[in-house]
Amino acid sequence: MSDIASMSADHLPGWRRARTLVLALFVAASSGLVSTRAQAEDVDYVVQPGDNPWSITERYLRGIKYWPRIQDYNRILAPRAIPLGTVLRIPLAWMRTEDLSARIVDLRGVVTLDRGHESVELKPGTTVYSGALLQTGADSSFTLALPDGTHCLVGADAELRLVSLVRIEGSGAQQVEIELLRGDIENWVQPNRRSGGRFLIRSPAAVAAVRGTEFHAAASAESTRIATLTGEVALRNRRGEVRLPAGVGSIAQADRRPEPATPLLPAPDLAGLPDRIERLPIDLPIPALAGAVGYRSRIALPEDVAAIESDRTATLAAVLGRGELADGRYRFRVRAIDERGLEGLAAEREIVID
């Protein structure tokens, strides 16, 4: 396994004692979204018995110099008598954090790390850190495996930056920010309700924020598309925000409010597909879905849907697969695509190629 350090930072000493943290991020999008008081990430801290700006600073922040900043930032008038349960906002940059790393797994095709002056082709098992700029070629994909079990499947012709991957010391809260410059990414985000971890995807047009969920994101310079499969995603930019529960999607453009949530297309019917395929490449018709303008077929190993062996899109109602697939058992995942480019719910079927 190789280590490629894109960014390093000194690890600061841990907190003296753990307190319950309730964490929420309010992130400034590249398109201009800001909170009312800071163009930064905030952590929400719930006041406990005995808390005051000095004790909170001593336990959780990078230095004692931050106590007046907490007081000013939250407009605290009576620092020795803050009511229990009060939510204080603290910029993440003020808090002690531990740098984490991610691994590149399930790599297919060509995946590179852009170091500015050169591009390095990556291998499965490579470790990457905050700041890594990753790119996939045609017919290529990889999975970004995060420490808490979250997995991000990155498709072909994509470019993304792992902006930040840290853990807030003492709470175990993992904070992730990914900048998706182009292409698509499918995410299985581990719920972390106890510690309040956050997962963010930033794109040129909007920011998607989640807790624990499965969702698909696609980005270009002009727009961002989000389809929520489980859980909930908040899609926002400087024009507004839309909440996306399971089974709906939305599109955001940088200069417009995100579109209202609309239902995703249902899963295609794969019941008519054969149990065994003997001829390649694969081109098998399926029943058409109303409202669909395309169908995306991903063929993976049965034990790992992220180990993509083929990724094809058809304009007609059909399942497609490349001609170089080896004999064996595969899992077919097919989604319909609507006229806005949103991918719908997935249908799955295991088929043997012989």
CATH number, domain of 124, equals: 2.60.120.1440
pLDDT interval class at 4 (50, 70, 90): very low
Cα(247)–Cα(53) distance, integer angstroms = 43
Assess whether pLDDT exceeds 60 at residue 52. yes
Higher pLDDT, 235 or 6: 235
Cβ 45 vs Cβ 56: under 8 Å: yes
Q: Quick check: is 291 in a domain?
A: yes
- pLDDT at site 34: 30
- pLDDT at site 170: 67
Whether residues 242 and 343 fall in one domain = no
Whether residues 193 and 141 fall in one domain = yes
pLDDT tens-digit series, residues 229-278 = 999 999 999 999 999 999 999 999 989 999 999 999 999 999 999 999 99
Whether residues 326 and 195 fall in one domain = no
Where is mean pLDDT largest: 51-55, 193-197, 262-266? 262-266
Whether residues 226 and 313 fall in one domain = no
Cα(196)–Cα(89) distance, integer angstroms = 14
pLDDT tens-digit series, residues 153-164 = 999 999 999 999
Q: Quick check: is 126 in a domain?
A: yes
Cβ 188 vs Cβ 215: under 8 Å: no
Which of 263, 294, 328 terminates a domain? The answer is 263
Q: Quick check: is 83 in a domain?
A: no
pLDDT tens-digit series, residues 287-336 = 999 999 999 999 999 988 889 999 999 999 999 999 999 999 999 999 99
Least reliable range by pLDDT among 3-7, 122-126, 316-320 = 3-7
Count the neighbouring beta carbons within 10 Å of the beta carbon of residue 250: 23
Assess whether pLDDT exceeds 70 at residue 111. yes
pLDDT interval class at 198 (50, 70, 90): confident
- pLDDT at site 41: 73
Domain residues for the domain of 116 are 98-263
pLDDT interval class at 109 (50, 70, 90): very high
Q: Quick check: is 122 in a domain?
A: yes
Contacts of 8 (CB under 8 A, 6+ apart): 99, 129
- pLDDT at site 29: 29
Least reliable range by pLDDT among 40-54, 87-101, 313-327 = 40-54
Omega cis (within 30) before 260: no
Which tokens belong to 302?
């049965």
Mean pLDDT throughout 28-41? 34
Q: Quick check: is 341 in a domain?
A: yes
Q: Quick check: is 56 in a domain?
A: no
Q: Quick check: is 336 in a domain?
A: yes
In Å, how far are 49, 153, 201, 300, 345 from 218, measured between CA atoms?
Answer: 45, 12, 10, 20, 15
Cα(342)–Cα(337) distance, integer angstroms = 6
Whether residues 142 and 226 fall in one domain = yes
Whether residues 252 and 308 fall in one domain = no
Assess whether pLDDT exceeds 80 at residue 17. no
Assess whether pLDDT exceeds 70 at residue 348. yes
The structural domain count of the chain equals 2
Mean pLDDT of the chain: 87
Cα(201)–Cα(181) distance, integer angstroms = 10
Which of 230, 263, 296 terminates a domain? The answer is 263
Whether residues 182 and 286 fall in one domain = no
The kind and range of the H/E element at 42 are strand 42-46
- pLDDT at site 216: 97
In Å, how far are 94, 121, 276, 312 from 97, measured between CA atoms?
Answer: 9, 30, 52, 41
Whether residues 326 and 216 fall in one domain = no
Terminal Cα distance for the chain, rounded: 34
CATH number, domain of 285, equals: 2.60.40
Cβ 176 vs Cβ 200: under 8 Å: yes
Alpha helices in 97-172 (DSSP H): none
Which of 263, 286, 321 terminates a domain? The answer is 263
Whether residues 137 and 248 fall in one domain = yes
Query: The whole model's pTM is what?
Result: 0.82
Whether residues 223 and 290 fall in one domain = no
Whether residues 193 and 299 fall in one domain = no
pLDDT interval class at 168 (50, 70, 90): confident
Cβ 302 vs Cβ 328: under 8 Å: no
Q: Quick check: is 75 in a domain?
A: no
Whether residues 313 and 180 fall in one domain = no
